[in-house]
């Protein structure tokens, strides 16, 4: 595709369930980022993948959060045992390499009820 694609666009889940959020970056981009944004707030860094290097996981808020990037392309962010405070928009971005112009997907709005 021409841009970064995220799915689903919206997800409503019950507290305690696991969810998987998907990000398809722009083809050939070596850097991929995940951020979380609560209503009216800034972007909270979660995780950063750069090529084949070990990812920077320093922003993951708890061990319920994990992410992987298979084959240097598609990435999945998994949240286990969701809590109400996990409700937010999760944004994915990719760039040709780290630190250059980042292209964002439209995000996944997660609502935990």
Partner 1 sequence: SQQGEEDPQALSIQEGENATMNCSYKTSINNLQWYRQNSGRGLVHLILIRSNEREKHSGRLRVTLDTSKKSSSLLITASRAADTASYFCATDNSWGKLQFGAGTQVVVTP
Q: Give the interface with partner 1 as residue ranges (CB under 8 A).
A: 4, 31, 33, 35, 37, 39, 41-45, 48, 50, 56, 89, 91, 93, 95, 97-107
Residue 21: CB minimum distance to partner 1, A: 14
Q: Which is nearer to partner 1, 43 or 80 (CB)?
A: 43
Terminal-to-terminal C-alpha distance of the chain:
33
Residue 50: CB minimum distance to partner 1, A: 6
Residue 70: CB minimum distance to partner 1, A: 20
Two tokens, residue 48:
């950063």
Which residues make Cβ contacts (< 8 Å) with residue 41, sequence separation at least 6?
none
How many residues are given for the chain?
Answer: 113
Distance CA 39, CA 33 (A): 20
């Amino acid at each position: 595709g021409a841009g970064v694609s995220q799915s689903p666009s919206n997800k409503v889940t019950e507290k305690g369930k696991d969810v998987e959020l998907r990000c398809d970056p722009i083809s050939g981009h070596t850097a991929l980022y995940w951020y979380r944004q609560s209503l009216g707030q800034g972007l909270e860094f979660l995780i950063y993948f750069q090529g084949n290097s070990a990812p920077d996981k320093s922003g993951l808020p708890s061990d319920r959060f994990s992410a992987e990037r298979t084959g240097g392309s598609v990435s999945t962010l998994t949240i286990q045992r969701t809590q109400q405070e996990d409700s937010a928009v999760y944004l994915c971005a990719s760039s040709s390499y780290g630190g250059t112009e980042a292209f964002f997907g439209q995000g996944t709005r997660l609502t935990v009820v």
